Amino acid sequence: MTSLGESTVIVRCETSEAGAEVGAQVVLAMATVAGIPPLAADRLRGDVRDAVHEAQGAVELGVTVGADGLILTISPPAHRLDAVLATLEGHGAELDGHVVRVRARRTPLQSV
């Protein structure tokens, strides 16, 4: 879905190794589009892969690129919300109802 400067990708990920890796690669691609620095984008990719495994069930992964960065949502089974939240804690993850939300801000460029 696309609307005025915003792009969203929604993927249903299984907890298998392949499902977790597909979700993680989608996050990496969208983080790159959002202007997230490469090392931060790769760290987020790896932590999302781990979060999908922690969900221990199918999840819906939503990634939105906007003007100031990226918003990631993961909808795990209700009994696994805390485990997924803890896995993404280093990214400032928050619980929003039955969804774990992470906001990654674009790093502003500075002149030297």
7-15: average pLDDT:
90
For the chain, domains (ranges, CATH) are 2-105 (3.30.565.10)
Strands 59-66 and 94-96: unpaired
Cα 12 from Cα 60, distance rounded (Å): 4
Cα 42 from Cα 24, distance rounded (Å): 9
pTM of the model: 0.87
> What are 54-85's pLDDT values in tens digits?
999 999 999 999 888 999 999 999 999 999 99
Cα 16 from Cα 51, distance rounded (Å): 12
